Amino acid sequence: MTSTTRRGEIWRERIADWWAGGWRWLLVAVGAVAATYLILERGTRGGVTLAIVIGALVIAAALTTSIPLAIALFAMPGLLVAERIGLGGSDLSVSDAALAAAFGTAILLGHRPYSRPLRNLLVINLVYQFATLFTVIINPYLLNTIEWFHAWMLVSGALIVGWALGAAGYARLALSLLVVTTSVFAVATLVVAAFQYLSGDFGPATPTWPFAMHKNFVGTVLAFGAVIVYLNPDWVGWTRGWARLSFLLMAAGIVVAQSRQALIGLLAAIIVAVIRRSTTGRSRWVLLLLIPAAWLIVTMVIEQVESQNRHNSVFQRVEWFREVYHAWRESPIVGHGLRYWYNPGELRYQPPQAELEVLASAGVVGLIGFIVMCVGVLVVLWRLDPRFGTLAVSIVLCRLVQSQFDIFWTAVQVSVPFVVAGICLGAMDHERRSKELRDELFAHEPLGRPVSLGVIEPRR
């Protein structure tokens, strides 16, 4: 029997197994969503979205008996959804709700003990949390306290979720769920761009399905997916053809969305891949991509400057920077508080640059903690085994570079890179434990007795 025929039989068996149980879960899903929508639709904003979220949670909870981390796996696509759900008068996003559910599962059912690199990252994040605690105490209002916990969840909580999935052996499945979701976003973006171009509109493509997305949101999310499939670590096991197609799809989505920050972040990740080409296999020639990408970015900026439109992104950001600087001078040491822009009498927008945002929110003390956190995280991830650490450091660096041109502390854009970094840490520990188990089995085998590992020994 040829390998192709055997592979076909395996896939037919898998499809039959999926079909045998899939239709039952489909009925449960439809029933859960319909029932939840009928109960919550009246008087609840985002009733459809909330119904889907709760329906998915019900199904995942039912699967937990056989798959302990089912809720965390179900949360992976939800991490990429920024749409708001109205629950109890709150303004919670789907991404935050998914992260919270996954975090609870990871804490209760995740593998222990944590590896040393993960513990180091959690401690480094505590440095930032301690630095911002001063502004929470000095500026006492509810959103300030809530955002302090929220920031911890976006970094440490996301790392723990990713660790739990990777350490349990679900690294490939978790990353695949993220990539499939970003691929759907890329297709939606390209479809919108095609219709726009046919009508003569060559502006940024911003899809409204499966939910409304800003160009910089969809651009940064597609950049995360592009980084994952571009590096395509050997322990993930995707075929090169599938990974290459996915990368081209998402790169095209970034271009038509015209998100400059996403493109720059992706280029930073590509540079890391070239630096570690002994592990990634990426040739230096890929750096030639920097030329057309840089030309595209410079061209878009020049067009906006020459337009003299005081309301475009370039001039608007310059004005915002000036206003935020003057606001920071009123409280330079501890800032005005996290999420201060929701308070009456303050600037009514979130500063569109990472360090400036932290400076205005938490002052010089908070900025020092933020810089220590960013540098410390990159150093820890860079020192990992390159097979696992390259993806982790690339996707976090991608986010940090993006945030030099836009807001930083926001759901999805922060949680997803750190979840991926956590998956890399967990997968590395899972491989280590598997190797130790194999070595232990070998050590306990009697001498002269062949060990069956599915490997055909050469004929003597």
pLDDT digits (tens, 9 = 90+) for 129-154: 999 999 999 999 999 999 999 999 99
Is the model more confident about 249 or about 448? 249
The pLDDT, as a whole number, for residue 220 is 95
Does one domain contain both 32 and 153?
A: no
**451 occurs within a structural domain:** no
Q: Which of 55, 85, 109 is the last residue of a domain?
A: 109
Q: Which domain holds residue 71?
A: 1-109
pTM, full prediction: 0.85
Nearest CA among 94, 112, 96 for reference residue 46: 94
Q: Which of 60, 88, 109 is the last residue of a domain?
A: 109
Query: Do residue 118 and residue 104 come from a single domain?
Result: no
Report the pLDDT averaged over residues 235-245. 91
445: Cα within 13 Å, side-chain hemisphere: 13
**Closest to 144 (Cα-Cα) out of 378, 298, 363:** 363
The predicted structure's pLDDT at residue 286:
75
Give the model's confidence band at 306: pLDDT under 50 very low, under 70 low, under 90 confident, else very high.
low
Instruction: Give me the chain's average pLDDT, please.
Output: 84
Calculate mean pLDDT across residues 358-363. 94
445 pLDDT more than 70: no
Domain contains 455: no
| pLDDT (mean) for 229-258 | 93
One domain for residues 304 and 384? yes
**Does one domain contain both 202 and 75?**
no
In a domain, 81, yes or no: yes
DSSP string, 170-183: -HHHHHHHHHHHHH
How many domains would you assign to the chain? 2
Position 460 confidence tier, pLDDT thresholds 50, 70, 90: very low
Which bin fits 339, alpha (ψ -120 to 50), beta or left (φ > 0)?
left
